[in-house]
Amino acid sequence: MSAEVDQRGRAGATTEDIQAHYDVGKEFYRLWLDPGLTYSCALWDGITGAPARTDLLLEAQRAKLRYHLAQAGISADSRLLDIGCGWGSLLRMAAEETGVRQAVGLTLSADQHAHVCSLGLPGVDVRVQDWRDHEPDEPYDGIVSIGAFEHFTHVDMPRDERITAYRSFFARCAAWLPPRGRLSLQTIALAGDSVLDGPVPAFFAREVFPGSALPRLSEIATACEPHFAITALREDGADYARTLRGWSTRLLRAREQAESLVGPGTYRRYRTYLRASEIVFMRQVSTLYRITLRRWPCRSR
Ligand SMILES: C[S@@+](CC[C@H](N)C(=O)[O-])C[C@H]1O[C@@H](n2cnc3c(N)ncnc32)[C@H](O)[C@@H]1O
């Protein structure tokens, strides 16, 4: 079903919505993402040069993953949860570089799940599971969630309902962490008091990310307040414009292969979406936040 509230009354993208976008197939995404298949804004601190260059895109993506692992307090021996693990680039870094004891990844995409399983990462357990259904056997030392938060509500929800939905996410994360445990969250958001209306958001909602919506910083702050302190905040919209430019250029260069894999219609839809998104970030209608949250010692404040 593509309804924005599913049969269990949940807001946001359904499994079918997610699979319609991500299960276009990793061979298509491989043409224009970095070799680690990270599908979210990279971190370009100190990296200069064309964002379409494979080595630079990979370096910026790895810098981002390393940043979030550090912000979540993950080290060797940690137990990590990655909510919205994509094709597993963070899990891979955690397993191979950090040497975590255990890592669990959640995704709603069957294609992503199959890919992460095929990597055979030591100590990594990946599931096709909504975070709302996750019941861990023991707490995690840290949680990372990159680029999934945008899928947790839909555009027609009033502000108070969105805050309630976000609050239930933060409540669950807090319950899975020890006191002072950290969540490192990355999400696109509406910038300032900007409003997304007109044909571009309608195209996104209809053809790119059905059942999804951008939060405002104030909604995130209100929703997390009973459960978490915000200890660091980065506003990195320019990094997303740059990442999107890289992806867009790479997809254009791979046009022939892309069209033969997914057809000209899907190719055109992705080209339009990547270009339009870059413009939205350049105009600062939307932006990108990387937020570090620390669980309050007492959950019921
Ligand atoms: C844009 S991708 C980001 C993937 C990855 N974090 C990265 O940076 O490459 C969003 C991810 O969130 C997942 N996701 C969306 N809604 C979810 C939910 N309710 N529960 C679990 N995963 C979800 C999708 O399946 C997908 O893996």
Taking only the tens place, the pLDDT of each residue in 22-68 is 778 899 999 999 999 999 999 999 999 999 999 999 999 999 999 99
Is the CB of 13 within 6 Å of ligand 1? Answer: yes
Atom of ligand 1 nearest to the CA of 87: 9
Atom of ligand 1 nearest to the CA of 82: 6
- For tokens 């995409």, name the residue: 109
* Structure confidence at residue 10 (pLDDT): 66
107 CA distance to ligand 1 middle (Å) = 5
**CA 77 distance to own-chain centroid:** 25
Of 69, 41, 6, the C-alpha closest to 236 is: 41
92 CA distance to ligand 1 middle (Å) = 16
Count other C-beta atoms under 10 Å from residue 114's C-beta: 14
Nearest protein CA to atom 15 of ligand 1, as residue: 148
Q: What is the distance between the alpha carbons of residues 13 and 4, in angstroms, rounded to a whole number?
A: 6
Is the CB of 88 within 6 Å of ligand 1? Answer: no
CA atoms within 13 A of residue 228's CA, in its CB half-sphere: 32
DSSP three-state, residue 207: helix
Nearest protein CA to atom 18 of ligand 1, as residue: 130
User: What are the residues whose beta carbons fall under 8 Å from the beta carbon of 135, sequence distance 6 or more?
Assistant: none
* Structure confidence at residue 2 (pLDDT): 37
CATH tag for 15-295 (out of 3.40.1020.10, 3.40.50.300, 3.40.50.150, 3.30.70.20):
3.40.50.150
DSSP 40: S
Is the CB of 240 within 6 Å of ligand 1? Answer: no
Q: Which amino acid is at 148?
A: A
**Strands in the chain per DSSP E:** 79-83, 102-107, 124-128, 142-146, 182-190, 228-235, 286-295
Taking only the tens place, the pLDDT of each residue in 180-194 is 999 999 999 999 999
Q: Which amino acid is at 158?
A: P
DSSP three-state, residue 100: coil
**CB distance 71 to 184 below 8 Å:** yes
User: Mutate which of 23, 80, 93, 108 to test ligand 1's pocket (most atoms within 8 Å of Cβ)?
Assistant: 108
* Structure confidence at residue 23 (pLDDT): 74
* Structure confidence at residue 4 (pLDDT): 43
User: What are the residues whose beta carbons fall under 8 Å from the beta carbon of 214, sequence distance 6 or more?
Assistant: 150, 188, 189, 190, 196, 286
Domains of the chain by residue range: 15-295
Is the CB of 287 within 6 Å of ligand 1? Answer: no
* Structure confidence at residue 17 (pLDDT): 81
Nearest protein CA to atom 4 of ligand 1, as residue: 86
Q: Which residues pair with 124 in a beta bridge?
A: 103
* Structure confidence at residue 301 (pLDDT): 47
* Structure confidence at residue 55 (pLDDT): 98
**CB distance 219 to 166 below 8 Å:** yes
Strand 79-83 and strand 102-107: the pairing is parallel
67 CA distance to ligand 1 middle (Å) = 18
Question: Which segments of the chain have a pLDDT < 50?
Answer: 1-5, 7-8, 299, 301
Q: Which residues pair with 102 in a beta bridge?
A: 79
